[in-house]
Amino acid sequence: MNYDVIVKNARIPQGNDTVLTNILVKDEKIVGFTLDLDGIQGNKVIDAEGHLTLPGCIDSHTHINDPGFTHRENFLTGTSAAASGGVTTIVDMPCCSVPSVRSVENLEHKLNAIKNKAIVDYGMWGGVTGEDVRNGWLHNVKEQADYGVLAFKVYMTPSVPTYPRVTDPEMLEAFKAVAETGLPIGIHAENFAMCDFYVKKFEKEGRTDGPAWAEARMTLAEKVAIELGISFAEEAGARLHIVHMSTGVGAKLVGDAKKRGLDVTAETCPHYLTLNYKDAMTEFMQFAKIAPPLRTKSDNEEHWKALQDGRIDFVATDHAPYEIPTEKEAEGMHIWNAFPGIPGVETMVPMIVSEGYNKGRLSLSRLVEVLCSSPAKHYGIYPKKGAMFIGSDADFTIIDLEKEWTIDKDKMYTMAKYTPFHGYKLKGKPVKTVVRGKLVYDDESGIVGEEGYGEFIRRQNIQKLDKAIKY
């Protein structure tokens, strides 16, 4: 028998164990598994060398900034960064392009601008803002959903000028509109008035240290925002998703809401699992400035527990690079006015493998869920993505679990060469990334994917995550 591609010597997960097999690929999809390659030929052979081979990992929260802010990142550099980090599908946010994505027309504009650049696959978040509510433009929600966006995003705090925040009643109206589509609504959960007040207060008092940013945008601002979001979601019947959740108390609130049977989910990011604000913001200053900010070591540990037991559903990165000379350290720039955001798409999988799985904080089955199957199910693209079934896309993240290496900002593929993980020593690294049967990254050769190979992935179905919490 002849196949397009054979991925040989792949050690694939089966629950918390692995089995060694050869994966057969035809027309970009998995068509079989075999232990015996006698009489079987592949036009191409990718050798997994006995390494752990996961379904392609998904980063469901990126800000690639294309079109409009391509001095920060474009779809080629952003998806190259993804490929090098073992990510085969990204889901890109609606806010960081010009125009921002809040209608089918604007979404098509963005898809046209990026379609010849991507080297991994991509889905899209739809958008809804306070302005859309005020101007009676909520019909755009259903139209974007029908077009195939995977979720909607609202901001309780301001992000970019072209994507206005929602007031509380505007958020409730947005929830109602999105609830009718059956899609999740993700919220940036920080209380605007509190963040605004304490940032101004601390700045006026003369604080110039890095940790001041985190102390101003305090834990309580996230806690009350999540509480409000849960109340509104319950009222509107919406599927609430807390994006980039940062606090341990947030994990408790989400866990309690799940136990009450509400459709509330949450993601955390590698930096909320591994970095604390006092150390990282002292060392990296505005290069560790993000919103919500880094928290404490006890929040880190609480998030690992919540990720393992299911209160936190999966991991994403909030990849949001800024141009260093103009947006991070221009003349007169300081902790209060530098832009908040860090790159992350290429460090997610290795961080979670090294600090989660290899250190015993995550089981193998949970590793597969938080990087692959849970985001795919949540965003309605499973089992095309996030699974290794017959008929699933032949996306694979091949990981050398023993490889010891150090994150180096200057070796990253993202356009903005900074990361608060610079100097972090890890054990475990993605060494090959395969998208629909095509090798797009190889640790020895670097990026080998082609610009424009990446495809737009529309929503396939509506699925909800199991609310069972395992503790």
User: Among residues 427, 397, 380, which one has the least CA distance to residue 151?
Assistant: 380
Distance CA 232, CA 220 (A): 18
- For Zn ion, the closer of residues 10 and 156 by Cβ is 156
Let me know: does 156 contact 123? Beta carbons within 8 Å. Answer: no
- The pattern of x and - marking residues 273 through 312 that bind Zn ion according to CB under 5 A reads ----------------------------------------
User: By CB under 5 A, which span of 318-326, 330-338, 421-429, 463-471 interacts with Zn ion?
Assistant: 318-326
Largest CA distance in the chain: 75
Q: Please, what is the minimum distance in Å from the beta carbon of residue 244 to Zn ion?
A: 6
CA 454 to centroid of chain Cα atoms: 17
Q: Please, what is the minimum distance in Å from the beta carbon of residue 429 to Zn ion?
A: 25
Q: Please, what is the minimum distance in Å from the beta carbon of residue 188 to Zn ion?
A: 7
Q: Please, what is the minimum distance in Å from the beta carbon of residue 8 to Zn ion?
A: 38
- For Zn ion, the closer of residues 32 and 158 by Cβ is 158
Q: Please, what is the minimum distance in Å from the beta carbon of residue 63 to Zn ion?
A: 6
Q: Please, what is the minimum distance in Å from the beta carbon of residue 241 to Zn ion?
A: 12
Let me know: does 409 contact 417? Beta carbons within 8 Å. Answer: yes
Half-sphere exposure of 416 (CA within 13 A, CB side): 30
Distance CA 251, CA 266 (A): 8
Let me know: does 313 contact 250? Beta carbons within 8 Å. Answer: no
66 near Zn ion (CB under 5 A): no
Distance CA 162, CA 181 (A): 24
User: By CB under 5 A, which span of 123-131, 316-324, 396-404, 417-425 interacts with Zn ion?
Assistant: 316-324
Q: Please, what is the minimum distance in Å from the beta carbon of residue 87 to Zn ion?
A: 16
Strand partners, 25: 5, 30
- For Zn ion, the closer of residues 84 and 246 by Cβ is 246
- For Zn ion, the closer of residues 265 and 354 by Cβ is 265
- For Zn ion, the closer of residues 242 and 280 by Cβ is 242
Contacting residue, 318, 327, 393, 395, with Zn ion by CB under 5 A: 318
Q: Please, what is the minimum distance in Å from the beta carbon of residue 312 to Zn ion?
A: 16
What does residue 188 show for φ and ψ, rounded to 5 degrees? -80, 105
Q: Is 423 left (phi over 0), alpha (psi -120 to 50) or beta?
A: left
Let me know: does 349 contact 269? Beta carbons within 8 Å. Answer: no
User: Among residues 177, 73, 147, which one has the least CA distance to residue 416?
Assistant: 73
User: By CB under 5 A, which span of 5-13, 136-144, 292-300, 317-325 interacts with Zn ion?
Assistant: 317-325
User: By CB under 5 A, which span of 80-88, 118-126, 315-323, 370-378 interacts with Zn ion?
Assistant: 315-323
CA 264 to centroid of chain Cα atoms: 17
Distance CA 285, CA 212 (A): 10
- For Zn ion, the closer of residues 264 and 269 by Cβ is 269
Let me know: does 127 contact 102? Beta carbons within 8 Å. Answer: yes
User: By CB under 5 A, which span of 196-204, 249-257, 313-321, 441-449 interacts with Zn ion?
Assistant: 313-321
Q: Which residue is nearest to Zn ion (CB)?
A: 318
Q: Please, what is the minimum distance in Å from the beta carbon of residue 420 to Zn ion?
A: 16
- The pattern of x and - marking residues 180 through 209 that bind Zn ion according to CB under 5 A reads ------------------------------
- For Zn ion, the closer of residues 153 and 436 by Cβ is 153
Distance CA 328, CA 350 (A): 26
Query: Using CB under 5 A, which residues numbered 80 to 139 contact Zn ion?
Result: none
- For Zn ion, the closer of residues 54 and 320 by Cβ is 320
Let me know: does 119 contact 450? Beta carbons within 8 Å. Answer: yes
Distance CA 369, CA 374 (A): 5
User: By CB under 5 A, which span of 125-133, 314-322, 381-389, 427-435 interacts with Zn ion?
Assistant: 314-322
- Applying CB under 5 A, what is the total number of residues that bind Zn ion? 1
Inter-helix orientation angle 219-236/168-179, to 10°: 50
Q: Please, what is the minimum distance in Å from the beta carbon of residue 202 to Zn ion?
A: 23
- For Zn ion, the closer of residues 96 and 431 by Cβ is 96
Tokens of 205: 């008092």
- For Zn ion, the closer of residues 46 and 243 by Cβ is 243
Half-sphere exposure of 297 (CA within 13 A, CB side): 2
Q: Please, what is the minimum distance in Å from the beta carbon of residue 122 to Zn ion?
A: 15
Q: Please, what is the minimum distance in Å from the beta carbon of residue 192 to Zn ion?
A: 16
User: Among residues 215, 217, 270, 261, which one has the least CA distance to residue 239?
Assistant: 261
Alpha-helix runs per DSSP H in 359-414? 364-368, 374-378
- For Zn ion, the closer of residues 125 and 232 by Cβ is 125
Strand partners, 150: none
Which residues make up the interface to Zn ion (CB under 5 A)?
A: 318
